[in-house]
Structure 1
């Protein structure tokens, strides 16, 4: 009788601890969700800019851009009249330069990517094959006890054209490990310690893993169709040019 009572007491304690753990995890998840409600989501189909969250610098930049477009008479967001551009939503195939996984890679950590094929605009290569770019870990969770699976979302960040214009990116790759919910539930009911040893699996991305990203906004190539090929010639020096007067 005593053993039964002790066993019941242990089971109740374990159950209580498990419930508290689950409750704390739910609360933590809700806090994360609330904190990210107004954050930019690179995996969303449409980007929503929350005006209240713009810094003063971002507000001034937005006003300046709107005024520039009015003066220039631009009919396409961010593009001067007559200029060739990379349209928003253009899909690019890229691959990881180095391996990444949900165990070691942290949120916001940058990772190197490279474009798999040439990006050709109006017959001219503007981003050559194998050009390096940047992506970042948008979300990361390593595998843990009670079968918690690893999660890793890697989003495109930026890649540059031949003439050094930054092309902002979004979308990317989403990977999740495995978990056995049924086995975890049984282990948790029998023993809290036992549940801790029921590990989920991490997600691994080998070097060379390919995925698709999108151009986040229209990108003015600072060239017209007439001089696009000249501007995008790789053997022509590109960069900041200054004139120095000598004595």
Structure 2
């Protein structure tokens, strides 16, 4: 049975991603900063008939929490097949480049960028033991520098300085990691789940968590001949499903 760890999975897109991977026969570890919320998510999924699910406390802003999560998961299983770095924050909007507080920049980068890196590095040894390891970094269409410089893009005027920069940085890290692992069985990609109605954006997005999660699941379950180092985005380019960096 394949295994997957999803950070920030106790609600919204992460939770629905867990549900869809359970439907595909994966054993899912629900990553949550709060033990109680993680257990509540597990209880809900078990009430729906899914048994292969467990909560793991992991706060990606906290190095000790990441280490503890790695130790706990390592005591349960030797190998991890999929890591989905889903945990993230917006930092609140508006975020003007000239006025946003530097503390907000640091806070957003700590979660969206440094947290994803540290989590990836912590679990990389377990992923390397899989015959088909997958790393999915959840990004945003707002992380595309090419589109942000295109005045015809539908989200051209949405310029969140902290959030945009953090996701662009995560995209860059993903490219470098995918290159490093290019001669292995790894598939390392970023996925834009689309502008989805969640707590993250006060339910302002037009997309559904079901569609958003399906995009993450697709990248998490890529076949051996699937692509790596890609920026998947049905929202930005529904024809190809790939966004420019």
The answer to whether TM tops 0.5 is: no
Task: Give the TM-score of the pair, scaled to structure 2.
Answer: 0.20
Task: Give the TM-score of the pair, scaled to structure 1.
Answer: 0.19
Q: Which has the higher contact order (CA 8 A, sep 6+)?
A: 1
Work out which of the two has the higher radius of gyration on C-alpha atoms and give 1 or 2.
Answer: 1
Q: Which has the higher strand share?
A: 1
Q: Which has the higher helix share?
A: 2
